[in-house]
Amino acid sequence: MFRAAFVPAAAVAVLIVGAPSAAAVPVYQTATSLAISGTVGVGCTVTLTATVTSTPPPIDAGQVRFYLDDSVDLGQPTLKSGKASVTWTPIAAQAGSHELVAFYTGFNNNDQEAWTSSGARVVVNVANAINLGSACVPF
């Protein structure tokens, strides 16, 4: 982030620009893992849960983005106690192999800290299935 100040002189504004020192903004690393609960099948709702960890401090703010094959946005829930979840119900056109992706997008805290994030990727096979209400049965 740059800091700027306007200094008027003879009705002309002069822009003085300077960058803060790199040491002024601490940088923290995060790691994201992704867990899937439920039967991954057409018409069967599964829950995707991302867990975000960091070296220090612990994270309890920000959001996690979930994607199917890097292109279908499955949601961006807020992180709570280091976790964020979305549900996904695959449709018939999504039968087959797919990659689910979750990554921590950070949060805006007035540039007091910077976060770097590694995402999580899991390959799933969406099977044809029958949803019986209380259970999903792949076939």
Residue-wise pLDDT tens digits, 37-77? 999 999 999 999 999 988 777 777 889 999 999 999 999 99
69 falls within a domain: yes
- The verdict on residue 39 lying in a domain is yes
Distance in angstroms (rounded) separating the CA atoms of residues 77 and 102: 11
Reported as a single tens digit per residue, the pLDDT across 74-115 is 999 999 999 999 999 999 999 999 999 999 987 655 555 666
Instruction: From 88, 81, 114, 92, select the one nearest 102 (Cα to Cα).
Output: 88
Nearest of 48, 42, 47, 46 to residue 139 by alpha carbon: 42
65 beta partners: 103
The answer to whether residue 5 sits within a structural domain is no
What is the model's pTM? 0.75
56 within a domain of the structure (yes/no) = yes
The domain tally of the chain equals: 1
- Let me know if residue 40 belongs to a domain: yes
Q: What CATH number is attached to the domain comprising 123? A: 2.60.40.10
Q: How far apart are the C-alpha atoms of 69 and 14, rounded to whole Å?
A: 49
Domain membership flag for residue 6: no
Q: Domain range for residue 107?
A: 24-128
Token pair 């689910």 is found at: 100
Asked if residue 4 has pLDDT above 50, the reply is no
Is residue 35 classed exposed, middle or buried when 0-12, 13-18 and 19+ CB atoms within 10 A define those classes? middle
Q: Within a domain: residue 93?
A: yes
